[in-house]
Chains A and B, each alone.
Chain A
Amino acid sequence: MQPTSGEMLGIYETMLLIRTTELKMVELFKKGEIEGHMLPCLGQEAIPASLAKVYADTDYLVTGHRGGGHYVARGCDYNALWAELYGRVDGVTKGRGGQIHLMDMTKKAMTGNAVVGQQWGIATGAGFVARKRGVMVVAVGGEGSTNRGVFHESLNMAAVQKLPILYVIEYNDRQMWNVCSETTAGERIATRALAYGMEGASVDGNDVLAIHAKAAEFVRKIREGSGPCLLECITAKWTDSVSNLRNLPENVEAMKKPDFDPVLRFETRLRIDGVLTDSLDLQIKENVRQKLQGALSFALASPVPDRYDGIDEVYSQPV
């Protein structure tokens, strides 16, 4: 079922918020205002924004690298995201995990894991809980993570157990600077679903409506008890990590080509369909601007942690 006009505008606003967030993160990193390891999801915004309109608030979300977009799309604490990037005490993990360990369990979102592929096993564990609680799991990772053994182990286990999990692959064709033709056998990741007797599909991962339609279909089947499904979204990431920005041009405007930029593409689509008007667009962009400004102010007002903060929080039950 196609999203309503209101839902589409919501997806568009989420995509813009992700884009704005990630660009600001890159800008502040370059200026040296924030530091650490960060993995932008620039170019992949359609996937988190579309999925967030498909899964329910009660469902669980588990991602690996490049989870920042999913964190934002899920509606996790946005102010705490910026405090985290600034390494402040009001960060969502008190400034400990940084951008690659974003997690907001008030939203059932483990949207960071820095060991590529480990999210598959963790998501599968969440699947056992989801089965018991009557909800489902959305598990996300790049195509690079599907070459880890744990991907196979997890999908096999989930299929045998008929766990309610939607496995989503963000196929951006890059593992560092390696491309799939050098590293990955087979044309598509989705065909691996056949091996587990589960349904799989590849969609254009820069096309909001294509992602939304297939994800909604799979989610409905999973809720009906089909067991896990595998959705491959073919996209492109604009850059690897903030410390390796060589492939991100100084002028991001250059990236805004309709077949390459999911945000511009969706904006164009919404305008053609008469869903997005100039005044609505201005209002949405103002919403995003204000949200970012508010979060930046919040982050900068938050104290830096004491250097010994957390050394007594290694165990939840000290002995």
Chain B
Amino acid sequence: MRQMKFVDALREGMIEEMRRDPDVFQIGEAIGGMQGGIFGVTKGLEEEFGKDRVIETAISEGALGGVAVGAAAFGMRPVVEIMFGSLMTLVVDEVHNQAGSLYYVSGGKIPCPMVIRTCNWMRIISGPHHCGNLDATFMNSPGVKLVIPSTPYDAKGLIKASIRDNDPVVFMEYSPLYTLKGDVPEEEYIVPIGKADIKREGKDVTVITYGVGVHDALGAAEELEKEGVSVEVLDLRTVLPYDKDAIRKSVAKTSRVVITYEGYKTGGIGAEIAAFIAEECIEDLSAPILRVAGKDVPCPSNRRLIEGISIGMKDVVDAIRKLMA
């Protein structure tokens, strides 16, 4: 199988969709030229598709969000890059109030097929305005889909699905994953939105996660295998609307749940997933649900302080040990 970096797989998915549909276009700040965005995701696209389909803009997130809604409502498929996930606060109205409500409030007459891509990078020294996490904000947005891939394979398949989807998609990338390598087939494929993926089968405990958390969970599973604990890793892949059947099935099998995610713990993704399990699967549980999540603290510009608030594989291991004790 062909090996590709996450960033290259993601880009390949967008290129394929731009070749397939002339109404797909990219727009954002410094996404053109040879660099192609601060993380190089759109590198080389301007060369192939030209300035009319890879559109450079000023630092104007509000207009970018509005442009996405307007272009989508009038029949094109915009893909917007917002440089950092923490800057998604600047497009909350456009995503939540405008895009999220449009299909419903138009009486099911105006679909809004737009993608806003952005990048979360909480494990880097860049302070609270660059390293925040807004995942939970968009989980609380009816009409919006929130897609967060964890592997090169999923990144490509999900960006293709997101671009083809007729609803607004917030597509969160986690920066530590850009250089991650993995299997990506040569032939075309789509990863459907709304379907979770069992990244590792296990029978004692389910770790429900997404994005970079998947890799913490996989590492923890390997570590705990040595101790005879069998960990199942459930990658949500789509956080809204999330795959309830997959959760029900896995919880019924393992009876123990850890939810791990990089965002802030309080009111985060884990709160929703835990509440869902409590409502619908409580009789399957043999232990309390544990959350391993970021502390409710703005991200400092200091490596040592970041260590104190962020989470990693070790925290997932500790949580699982606690459940198995």
User: Which residues of A are at the interface with B, using a C-beta cutoff of 8 A?
Assistant: 60, 62, 91-97, 101, 103, 105, 108, 110, 113, 115, 118, 120-132, 149-150, 153-154, 156-157, 160-161, 310, 313-317, 319
Specify the chain B residue showing the minimal Cβ separation from A154. B63
Residue pair A121, B55 in contact (C-beta under 8 Å) = no
Residue pair A129, B193 in contact (C-beta under 8 Å) = no
List residues of chain B with CB within 8 A of the CB of A130: 74
- Cα A125 to Cα B69 in complex, Å, equals 7
* Interface residue from B57, B67, B145 paired with A315 (Cβ < 8 Å): B145
Residue pair A128, B55 in contact (C-beta under 8 Å) = yes
* Interface residue from B73, B104, B145 paired with A122 (Cβ < 8 Å): B73
Residue pair A110, B73 in contact (C-beta under 8 Å) = yes
Residue pair B60, A153 in contact (C-beta under 8 Å) = yes
Residue pair B97, A125 in contact (C-beta under 8 Å) = no
- Cα A40 to Cα B145 in complex, Å, equals 35
**Would you give 15 A-B contacts (Cβ < 8 Å), ordered by A?**
A60-B74, A92-B107, A94-B107, A101-B105, A101-B106, A121-B63, A121-B67, A124-B70, A125-B71, A125-B74, A149-B62, A154-B67, A310-B104, A315-B143, A319-B192
Residue pair B103, A315 in contact (C-beta under 8 Å) = yes
Contact residue range for chain B? 35 or more
List residues of chain A with CB within 8 A of the CB of B105: 93, 96-97, 101
Residue pair A150, B66 in contact (C-beta under 8 Å) = yes
- Cα A101 to Cα B105 in complex, Å, equals 7
Specify the chain B residue showing the minimal Cβ separation from A101. B105
List residues of chain B with CB within 8 A of the CB of A161: 55
Instruction: Indicate whether B226 reaches chain A with its CB closer than 8 angstroms.
Output: no
Instruction: Indicate whether B223 reaches chain A with its CB closer than 8 angstroms.
Output: no
Q: Which of B108-116, B248-256, B275-283, B296-304 contacts A (4 or more CB under 8 A)?
A: B108-116
Instruction: Indicate whether B206 reaches chain A with its CB closer than 8 angstroms.
Output: no
| Chain A CB within 10 Å, residue with most, of B103, B108, B145 | B108
Specify the chain B residue showing the minimal Cβ separation from A106. B109
List residues of chain A with CB within 8 A of the CB of B57: 157, 160
- Cα A178 to Cα B107 in complex, Å, equals 34
* Interface residue from B76, B97, B238 paired with A319 (Cβ < 8 Å): B238
Residue pair A150, B63 in contact (C-beta under 8 Å) = yes
The A-contacting residues of B in range 38-77, CB under 8 angstroms, are 52, 55, 57-58, 60, 62-76
Instruction: Indicate whether B78 reaches chain A with its CB closer than 8 angstroms.
Output: yes
> Smallest CB–CB gap between B234 and chain A, Å?
17
